[in-house]
Structure 1
Amino acid sequence: MGRAEERRARQRGGRRAAPKSRRSSATAGKSGIRRLFTWKKILGTFFGLCLLGMGAFIVLYMVIDIPKGNADAKLQSNVYKYSDGSLLARAGDRNREIVGLAEVPKPVQKTFVAAENKTFYKDAGVDLKGTARGLLNTIAGKGAQGGSTITQQYVKNYYLTQEQTVSRKLKELVISLKLDREESKDYILAGYINTSYYGRGAYGIQAAAQAYYRVDAKDLTVEQGAYLAALLQAPNQYDWAIASDTGKKLVKARWNYVLDNMVDEGWLNQSDRQTMKFPVPEEPKADPSMGGQTGYLVKAANAALEKQLVAEGTAEDAKQAEAMVNQGGWTLTLNIDKKKQAALEKSVKQQLTSKLDPDKRKVDGDVQAGAASVNPKTGAVVAMYGGEDYFKHYMNNATRADYQPASTFKPVILAAALEEQAKTQDGKPITASTVYDGTSERPVVEDGRKVGFAPENEDDRNYGPISVQTAMNRSVNSVFAQMGVDVGMSEVVKVAGALGMDTKNMEAVPAQTLGSMGASPLQMAGVYATLDNHGKKVTPAILKSAEHQNRTVTMPDAVGGQAISREAADSVTSVLTGVVDDGTAQKSVAENPGRDGQQVAGKTGTSDNNKSAWFTGYTPNLVTSVGLFGEDPKTHAQVPMYKAGGEPRINGGGFPAQIWAAYTFGVMGDVTKFDLETQQGAAVEPTWTPTPSQTPTKEPTQEPTTEEPSSSPPPTSEKPSSSPPPSPSTTPPTFTPPTAPQTTPPGDGRDPLDPVRPGEDE
């Protein structure tokens, strides 16, 4: 037997079979998986799915035809109603004039391509990657995220709708491919610029050219065209007349982006590009139906609806939400009470605007008024005053948040102290009867050291030892600056946010105790409404309901959970009754003939250099915040209001409190009392009567732009009354020694981190 035969015999003898019998079950399982998932099967499945998808797409391509353009036929006006269902306004009539592409200068045409779709002249009408991403996001419930070509945007605007569904996106893809094959690029571009919405009610480039530059589309410059092209990304946010500082920066950046893209594509000469300047648009034209307060109310309602459409996922972003609202067909019912709205407008006219005479005093033309009135039990915005007239001043003074709320922030500091059960530097609990050092320009102390902040009291008055209650009544800056540090400024900011203030950009520094952040009357009305509602969070809501055909948008609940404890909120309310009965609002509010025994809480405020003046006050059933703002009508810069209305200085206890009282007492109905769970507040009387020192009144730190400020004392309406204080409580306040020497160190007492000069905060 040869060697080969012997080897085969040994193999047949079973020596190679032994390992087979010892194989583990895991090895066998792996072999089974390998047999199930082979490369051939994986590739086969992949290509099978690809073929299936291609087949499905071919079927869709064959089934879906380019529909007749019907978007214009479906566009309707929006209807706006008061809370009782009566008509407020009807707005949204289409403002469009179709123009041929030949009527638009070629360089202007290219601005839109440079802004939205640089490959427009080369692509097949779709962006496959962007569309695929949009489909996946829609399936995942995240909405689309860009990637649309000009062709796709035109198809969405003219042939389809703005809804975010998979079927709509697939239709958009197929129609865009077919349209690109059947029509010229010029036809598509003309359709795009004629159907897009540019803001100001302008649909199409011709209407936009007139709305923003008072010219026909054929006369637009490249610079102007680049602005209109940039505007399409966010028409409302980028409208120069109403844009915030951030919005203006963004639209300028996009304008530069458009022109730079044109240079890159060879559509614009670099040397010409260097000489171009941003073309500031004209002010919007008047729409008679939006005059007076109507325009402010309609815009505020639209903004609320747009915000909710994004929040509930109906719109993917603010731009799409705005497009959906402006498409029309909505019936919006506002929370605005028709009678209260008329009463607020009448009050502002009688108490303020009728007393302003810009021909006699130039500064009178700088005074802007804003107000918001809220039901604290429901959160409904029942009245709003945005300005003298929507067409004379497009910025809504009730919702603008660029002016300092000044001393109307002091109740927030006290609320934080009570909520956090804070103590003074000497370890004494902070209550309405706690005594502080009210010396003007007294250095603020933390842990035995000065923090570099020494605010000046109004007119540099020194009060010496003074209770928190009296300090609130007299609005003593030095007391609340120290209290803010005692509580901890981070805690103060936290409570401010809980009450409803926007704290994103609020630094936790002592200078904030003077109310040096920005806030709107609507926002401050919400803060005080939360206090009025015993600490339950109130978010002012202007929109009651919104319906579109068979669909209703569910509005969020305006009243939420407990923001701060009831005891803390009620204690602050009790203290604020003292501001009215024995403080800076006494003459205008407490002594008003229309009060009729109504219990009122509130706080005045006057910001640095008299650029803003406030009164925010409330009864158990109504909260109203009134603000006056100094604004240059040409530059829109903040300016002082000294001598406006013939007064040496506009204080919160003057015009704002007078407007508040005339309005509130005129609509309040039955006299009511606060239901408070607290032992603190206006009933607490100090054991001494603080007397301001006879320090001469200082000149204002910055002169007004038109006239020299008066060095005389503020109007008597701002000064506390000399009438006796309320009867004392059974428990007199305990004296807390001053926490730092009362001598004023050299220097101006300014916080090096804060550029605002304190001293006129009331």
Structure 2
Amino acid sequence: MSDASPPSSSDDEPSPDATPEAGPPSAAAPAPGPAAPEADASAAHTARSRFGGWPGWAPRPPRPPARRRSGWRRLLPTWRLVLVAGAVALVALLGSLVAGYLLVDIPEPKSAAAAQSNVYLYADGSQLARVGEIDRENVALDDVPEHVRHATLAAEDRDFYHAPPVDVGAMARAGWNMMRGGGRQSGSTITQQYVKNYYLDQRQTVTRKVKELFIAVKLDREVSKDEILEGYLNTSYFGRNAYGIQAAAHAYYGKPAKELNVAEGAYLAALLNSPNAYDVRANPGARERAEARWEYVLDGMVSEGWLEEDERERTRFPEPRDQNPSAGLDGERGYLVEAVKQHLEERGVVDEHQLAAGGYRITTTIEPARQRALTDAVDAQLETALSEEREQDSWVRAGASSVDTETGHVVAMYGGRDYVEQYVNNATRRDYQAASTFKPFVYAAALENDSTNQKGELIGPSTKYDGRSGREVVSRDGSGTGWAPENEGNRDYDTVPVSEGMDKSINAVFAQMGVDVGPELVRDTAVALGLPEATPGLTEADASISLGTATPSTLDMAGAYATLARHGEHREVLLVSEITKDGETVDLPEPERGEAISREAADGTTAMLEAVVRGGTGTAAASSGRPSAGKTGTAENDRAAWFAGYTPELATVVAIFGQDPETGAQRELYGAAGQERISGGGFPARIWGQYTQAALEGQPVTDFELHQPERREHDDSDMGSDEDDPDSSSDPDSEDDPDADPDPDSGSEESEGPEGSTGPEPDRPSTPGGTEPGDSGSPSAPDSPGSPEDGGSGTPDDNPPAVEDNAPAAPGGAAEPDQGAVREEPPGEATATDADRAAASGG
């Protein structure tokens, strides 16, 4: 027998009833009986089940269980799913593109006759102005010089003739930039811009952008590139309410488009990017940016081979002519409308192209009664003093802004006497130095940052500073800075407290304080209070920032002073309370608000400025009959005079500027309005006083609720002789009698008036080299103040400061070349003798 039978235990005998286990078939096995087929099948199945295969095969190893994804991998799709989803998305995208191309037709062109007006309303709902007439005259492309066409392409789309009608990459970049909060970018080709101008509207929506894309592709297939360029040139907005190249040529240069030269064509092409921002006549402060954009266009023409390099070098900037405003914007209305348009654009609500399309109803924050009160104050205090017989009077420009301290709303604004005659808004222009109205920001920065003087003492109203004119400013490490600004008339003061330095606006005090605090902290405080970071001169100025060399607008300054009135809480200044488009409300961004500086710092500054109005350089503002705080400022050579002040209810800034009506250059105001000189304590303070009294008439008188400030009366007992300061110039006997007549030699203050009374001296900063921003004139010679060329009378108050040694780039840092001094307002003095004038001028 074979041993293939199933094994059994060697110790136990098998049971007679046991069923033997099946085993592999053997040759020696007995022949099967009648049930052999069934037995064979059963045996085979059993063998396969037990051994995993057919007889003679190796057993199949057990299959490992499937590994399941765990953790975060469970959330990821498989590659098969990704592949399927991508294929579906691609098919859907292609299908939508095909459907969009088939479904979107080229619409009928917009009709100029269908253009709507924009309605501007006062705060009470009464109409301020209605603007909306269209200035357009179409011309054939052949009537547009080739160099003008090339300039347009260089500015907007240099690949126009050999590129697709849609730049998908540029659109994606623009969209990404907008999502990151980097501002709006068009990302559009000339074809797309033409579609938007001619067929669609200016709304920034996804639906409009998709339509623009499909129409641009269809249009490019149906018409020539020349036809598209012609349409673009005839429909684009160039500013000054001019649509199309023909209207723009007349608006800016008084000639038809076919007579434009290369320089003029390049300037008009530059305007396409942002017309209002690059109009150098309506916005003098934009000249640098406008010229840079103009040069970009010319350089593009050279790089594309459309302009020879030598001709490019010979090309000079083409000055546009004065704007001819719409008749409906005469008087003060034009200034208000332009300010509102600028405000909406800066806040990103709507741009000038959208406004030009019309259909907006805009409710401003301007209150009619207060607007009339401000205009009446300027007329009564300034305009009545001007005469057509004096050349200097033709240079006088006035601007003012008034802000409600509680809401931040601009309730009144004076931009000029008539928008049709003087179209530059003097309330919003940023090209004249703020002068000593900037000094409160220095003091506020000192209080906010617990700054100390050179002796390590905390800066406060009683902190003593050396007031000598021409004293070198010392850096924090005790080394000299090389900067020694002069006081007005080169007048010396002994060691004086900060309170006296503020009252008399002593440059030596605040130049040193600014270095003690640090120019960066002074700048940060000014911005926190409300000045725009982009204020001209704010970033460039170093130590000289303390003396007001930056050039904010009256609106900027009113917003910053309103923050002081609100005890350090900043609220964004607003000019618009509501806006609708075709009856639908347009969302306005939430105004910014928050703590700019601590209440202690703000209230301490207010307490200091209250004394300036009570008995310092700003006493004329006390005519308001209200608790008031403020600061005067007068720019070098009397090119500008300021008064910035506030009550608990209103913050108002008034400024008078000197500007040549023909050239636009800044001019000195010596002799204007029959005065020897113009200072912030004169016309601006009196305008402020009359307006504030009228604007608050009928309202209860409220005091500043100061948070435990170190308040002082103007007798300034802290200015008296000090045991530790034998050099103090104050007279304790005179302080006991506030009604005593001030002694001109004692350093006390008087307000000045148009009647020729002596008054507070102006605070006047100078730019490097003694020139003003935007003034191409040469610096005044240190030894020739009051010369006939300056229109001065030769009194010490008229003397511009001598050009000082260089102001430091930072405390202890390198000097900045030709940094001039800043003039301030000293107390009233008797008429100077020839000897006095010679001494004051250093002669």
TM-score where L is the length of structure 2: 0.76
Corresponding position: 1:611 with 2:643:
no
| Residue identity opposite 1:304 in structure 2 | H
| Structure-2 change in CA distance of 1:702 and 1:68 (3 Å) | farther
Q: Deviations over 1:676-696 (max 9, x none)?
A: 22241333523347267699x
| Residue identity opposite 1:620 in structure 2 | P
Q: Deviations over 1:118-141 (max 9, x none)?
A: 333334533343345567778999
From 507, 514, 535, the equivalent of 1:484 is: 514
1:344-359 alignment runs, 5 A limit: 344-357=374-387, 359=389
Preserved CA contact (<8 Å) 1:369 1:387: yes
From 569, 572, 576, the equivalent of 1:543 is: 576
Q: Deviations over 1:415-445 (max 9, x none)?
A: 1222223333223333223333333333333
1:268-279 alignment runs, 5 A limit: 275-279=314-318
Q: Deviations over 1:507-547 (max 9, x none)?
A: 57332221122222111111211111121113322222222
From 367, 378, 381, the equivalent of 1:337 is: 367
Preserved CA contact (<8 Å) 1:227 1:279: yes
| Gapped regions of structure 1 (runs ≥ 5) | 1-8, 316-320, 716-745
SS in 2 for 1:373: strand
Preserved CA contact (<8 Å) 1:432 1:681: no
SS in 1 for 2:347: helix
Following the alignment from structure 2 to structure 1, what is the Cα–Cα distance between the partners of residues 207 and 580?
24
Corresponding position: 1:412 with 2:441:
yes
| Residue identity opposite 2:104 in structure 1 | I
| Residue identity opposite 1:527 in structure 2 | A
Preserved CA contact (<8 Å) 2:192 2:216: yes
From 712, 736, 740, the equivalent of 2:795 is: 712
Following the alignment from structure 1 to structure 2, what is the Cα–Cα distance between the partners of residues 485 and 223?
46
Following the alignment from structure 1 to structure 2, what is the Cα–Cα distance between the partners of residues 508 and 428?
26
Q: Deviations over 1:78-135 (max 9, x none)?
A: 1111111111111122111223334334443343334323333334533343345567
Following the alignment from structure 1 to structure 2, what is the Cα–Cα distance between the partners of residues 345 and 34?
69
| Structure-2 change in CA distance of 1:26 and 1:147 (3 Å) | same
RMSD (Å), alpha carbons: 3.6
Q: CA deviation at 1:700?
A: 7.6
Corresponding position: 1:642 with 2:670:
yes
| Residue identity opposite 2:618 in structure 1 | A
Preserved CA contact (<8 Å) 1:99 1:206: yes
Equivalent in the alignment of 1:510: 543
Equivalent in the alignment of 2:358: 328
| Structure-2 change in CA distance of 1:10 and 1:119 (3 Å) | farther
Equivalent in the alignment of 2:242: 202
| Structure-2 change in CA distance of 1:493 and 1:113 (3 Å) | closer
1:369-380 alignment runs, 5 A limit: 369-380=398-409
| Structure-2 change in CA distance of 1:705 and 1:103 (3 Å) | farther
Following the alignment from structure 1 to structure 2, what is the Cα–Cα distance between the partners of residues 524 and 221?
41
Preserved CA contact (<8 Å) 1:138 1:166: no
Preserved CA contact (<8 Å) 2:139 2:234: yes
Following the alignment from structure 1 to structure 2, what is the Cα–Cα distance between the partners of residues 335 and 266?
51
Q: CA deviation at 1:603?
A: 1.0
| Residue identity opposite 2:94 in structure 1 | M
Preserved CA contact (<8 Å) 1:534 1:569: yes
Corresponding position: 1:383 with 2:412:
yes
Query: Percent sequence identity over matched residues?
Result: 44
Q: CA deviation at 1:466?
A: 2.3
Q: Deviations over 1:389-434 (max 9, x none)?
A: 2233332211122222111112112212222233332233332233
Q: Deviations over 1:9-54 (max 9, x none)?
A: 999546xx77x8689949999xx9999637xx97776565444422
Q: Deviations over 1:195-219 (max 9, x none)?
A: 1111000112221121111122333
SS in 1 for 2:162: coil
SS in 1 for 2:160: coil
| Structure-2 change in CA distance of 1:531 and 1:129 (3 Å) | closer
Preserved CA contact (<8 Å) 1:516 1:756: no
Following the alignment from structure 1 to structure 2, what is the Cα–Cα distance between the partners of residues 419 and 264?
53
Q: Deviations over 1:555-593 (max 9, x none)?
A: 45557222222222222212212111111122x233x4x
Following the alignment from structure 2 to structure 1, what is the Cα–Cα distance between the partners of residues 704 and 634?
27
| Residue identity opposite 1:584 in structure 2 | T
Equivalent in the alignment of 1:70: 110
SS in 1 for 2:446: helix
| Structure-2 change in CA distance of 1:143 and 1:169 (3 Å) | farther
From 37, 46, 54, the equivalent of 2:79 is: 37
Q: CA deviation at 1:503?
A: 4.4
Equivalent in the alignment of 1:155: 195
Q: CA deviation at 1:747?
A: 8.2
Corresponding position: 1:393 with 2:422:
yes
Q: Deviations over 1:211-250 (max 9, x none)?
A: 11112233333443332222211111122313455x4344
Following the alignment from structure 2 to structure 1, what is the Cα–Cα distance between the partners of residues 589 and 75?
53
Equivalent in the alignment of 2:611: 578
- Aligned length in residues: 702
Equivalent in the alignment of 2:255: 215
SS in 2 for 1:666: helix
Equivalent in the alignment of 1:528: 561
| Residue identity opposite 1:528 in structure 2 | Y
Corresponding position: 1:180 with 2:243:
no
Equivalent in the alignment of 1:734: none
Preserved CA contact (<8 Å) 1:331 1:547: yes
Corresponding position: 1:85 with 2:125:
yes
Q: CA deviation at 1:641?
A: 2.1
| Gapped regions of structure 2 (runs ≥ 5) | 1-53, 722-728, 732-743, 748-760, 762-780, 809-814, 826-843
Q: Once structures 1 and 2 are overlaid, which stretch shifts more, 47-56 or 267-276?
A: 267-276
From 788, 795, 816, the equivalent of 1:753 is: 816
Following the alignment from structure 2 to structure 1, what is the Cα–Cα distance between the partners of residues 160 and 592?
49
Following the alignment from structure 2 to structure 1, what is the Cα–Cα distance between the partners of residues 177 and 479?
56
| Structure-2 change in CA distance of 1:10 and 1:209 (3 Å) | farther
1:554-569 alignment runs, 5 A limit: 554-556=587-589, 560-569=593-602
| Structure-2 change in CA distance of 1:712 and 1:467 (3 Å) | same
Equivalent in the alignment of 1:366: 395
Preserved CA contact (<8 Å) 1:135 1:169: no
Following the alignment from structure 1 to structure 2, what is the Cα–Cα distance between the partners of residues 140 and 610?
46
Preserved CA contact (<8 Å) 2:547 2:822: no
Corresponding position: 1:452 with 2:485:
no
| Structure-2 change in CA distance of 1:519 and 1:42 (3 Å) | closer
Preserved CA contact (<8 Å) 1:444 1:453: yes
More contact order relative to length (CA 8 Å, sep ≥ 6): 1
From 126, 146, 170, the equivalent of 1:130 is: 170
Q: CA deviation at 1:625?
A: 0.8
TM-score where L is the length of structure 1: 0.83
| Residue identity opposite 1:674 in structure 2 | F
Following the alignment from structure 2 to structure 1, what is the Cα–Cα distance between the partners of residues 459 and 302?
65
Q: Give every structure 1 segment of 4 or more consecutive aligned residues whose post-TM-superposition deviation is greater than 6 Å.
A: 20-24, 26-29, 32-35, 41-45, 135-144, 697-701
| Structure-2 change in CA distance of 1:25 and 1:509 (3 Å) | same
Following the alignment from structure 2 to structure 1, what is the Cα–Cα distance between the partners of residues 217 and 366?
48
Q: Which has the larger radius of gyration?
A: 2
From 646, 654, 658, the equivalent of 2:682 is: 654
Equivalent in the alignment of 1:741: none
Following the alignment from structure 1 to structure 2, what is the Cα–Cα distance between the partners of residues 139 and 368?
43
| Structure-2 change in CA distance of 1:436 and 1:142 (3 Å) | closer
Q: Once structures 1 and 2 are overlaid, which stretch shifts more, 65-74 or 614-623?
A: 65-74
| Structure-2 change in CA distance of 1:508 and 1:238 (3 Å) | closer
1:291-306 alignment runs, 5 A limit: 291-306=330-345
Following the alignment from structure 1 to structure 2, what is the Cα–Cα distance between the partners of residues 273 and 146?
28
Q: CA deviation at 1:552?
A: 2.4
Preserved CA contact (<8 Å) 1:442 1:454: yes
